[in-house]
Structure 1
Amino acid sequence: MFVRTASERDIEAVRALLVETWHATYDAIYGTEKVTEITDSWHSIASLRRRLTRPNSEFLVADDGKRIGGMAYAEADAGGDTVMLRQLYVLPALQGRGIGGMLLDEIIESFSDAKRMRLEVEEQNVKAIAFYQAHGFAQTDRTANCGADQSGIPALIYEMPLI
């Protein structure tokens, strides 16, 4: 796998990756219907397309030339000090092979002037929490609305200094 900037031609494969990964990770937590509702909204083709051109952001994919095995998306705040890692997902069959670490490293390099990186993670997603802790993140807070205002989805907030 190699990491590169996502393009329009990747959008459908990224959506498929997100749908598969979300169902594998969250069906047992939220139920299939809720996960489908979330992925249809948060991971729609239109939503993903908008991320390709959003200022102060980076949208990456891990590609082996045959398939997209992972993706990451992050955006910096207006001052550029804080980067919010909005998404970092690897196909379930490819997890544990270093793809997530490669994506995270490239996201960090993309925001060389930032002072910290922040993310939200479902507290029952123990694999993701272990991954982030192993990469230097520590829990700093909680939110009742992960991913979107009024989502009603609680999450832990993790942060890592970048300087």
Structure 2
Amino acid sequence: MYTIRQANINDAATIVQLAQEIWWPTYSPILEKEQIEYMLGTIYAPEVIERQVETGEQTFLLLLEDDQAVGFAAYSQREDNPEVYKLHKLYCLPAMQGKGYGKALINKIVKHVKATGADKLDLNVNRHNKAKGMYEKMGFEVIYEEDIPIGPYFMNDYVMRKEL
């Protein structure tokens, strides 16, 4: 049994902890150790997550199984195009993958985005991340590739879009 709820400032530490537990097994096969450490320290620094949650810069959802947080997602309107939303983060603990939790989180976000009147949801996925297949099954299509500098590293991504 699972539930999904909006995260609040008190959940920031939980999100940071989940990211630490998820990123290593997810990205170790495709990124260098130093890049993972840098990105976790930059994107998932506790003060960064706290600010994003507190200011509403990103809306965070927590997925709980038996009252235990096992996954999370974050999304917002695109700054460059408010008619399009962006899924910034979608992660589930490795032991929870394959249970449909990622799909459940996306469906919850899609419902919210549609309620705003927007009709597109974008996301970035590393070009070597196996999650790309799950996104394709959910109706996302690659619309372009981009290489985003993050400190001394690059995120080599596909940008995918789902028409709602």
TM, length-normalised to structure 2: 0.89
What's the secondary structure of 2:30's corresponding residue? helix
Pair 1:93 & 2:98 matched: no
Distance change (3 Å), C-alpha of 1:13 and 1:56: closer
CA distance in 2, matches of 1:3, 1:70: 9
Match of 1:153? Answer: 155
Distance change (3 Å), C-alpha of 1:77 and 1:153: closer
Write the letter of the residue equivalent to 1:61.
L
- State the 1:73 CA deviation: 0.3
Name the structure with the higher strand share.
2
What's the secondary structure of 1:152's corresponding residue? strand
Distance change (3 Å), C-alpha of 1:10 and 1:38: same
Pair 1:118 & 2:122 matched: yes
Q: What count of residue pairs does the alignment treat as equivalent?
A: 160
Deviations, residues 9-41 of structure 1 (Å, cap 9, x unaligned): 221111111112111111121122221111011
- Which structure 2 residue ranges, 5 or more long, are not aligned? none
CA distance in 1, matches of 2:125, 2:34: 20
* Residues 77 and 85 in structure 2, CA contact (< 8 A), matched pair in contact too: yes
Write the letter of the residue equivalent to 1:62.
L
* Residues 6 and 61 in structure 1, CA contact (< 8 A), matched pair in contact too: yes
TM, length-normalised to structure 1: 0.90
* Residues 56 and 76 in structure 1, CA contact (< 8 A), matched pair in contact too: no
- State the 1:160 CA deviation: 0.8
CA distance in 1, matches of 2:93, 2:162: 24
